[in-house]
Structure 1
Amino acid sequence: MLIIEGMFPFVFPSAWRDTFRKIAERPPHQIRVGGLIVMLLGLVLLFIAT
């Protein structure tokens, strides 16, 4: 997981920074919903992989 997370800032540092800045400007509710979606997607991928 850390390899994949580290790839984007390593390969595309400017785009990663701009994307992170846009995400940080969103209201807390939208960030929370996005986090929930990512967690559920991770669980689905985990179940598929096992």
Structure 2
Amino acid sequence: MNAVAGEFLRAVALVMVIEGLLPFLAPARWRQLLFTIAQMESRSLRTIGLFSMLIGVAILQLV
């Protein structure tokens, strides 16, 4: 496996760990959050996703 593939897999693994924290630590709150997100309009979700990606790209550029 080359270095790029290894780094990519590490990044995916880190995302999975971070994503798993809330359901592990507070499953009831996580369920409530999912219900709230399911009620949101698509435009709002897209806006949140866009800002999340932009912040992620900015952090990557800083690191």
Is TM-score (shorter-chain normalized) higher than 0.5?
A: yes
- The question of 1:48 aligning with 2:59 is answered no
> Deviation at 1:25?
0.3
- The question of 1:8 aligning with 2:25 is answered no
After superposition, the CA RMSD in angstroms is 0.9
> Deviation at 1:37?
0.9
- Name segments (4+ residues, structure 1) moved above 6 Å: none
**Higher-RCO chain (CA-CA 8 Å, sequence separation at least 6):** 1
Q: So what's the TM-score if we normalise by structure 1?
A: 0.85
Q: Aligned residues: percent identity?
A: 35
For the pair shown, the structure with the greater C-alpha radius of gyration is 2
Stretches of structure 1 that go unaligned for 5 or more consecutive residues are: none
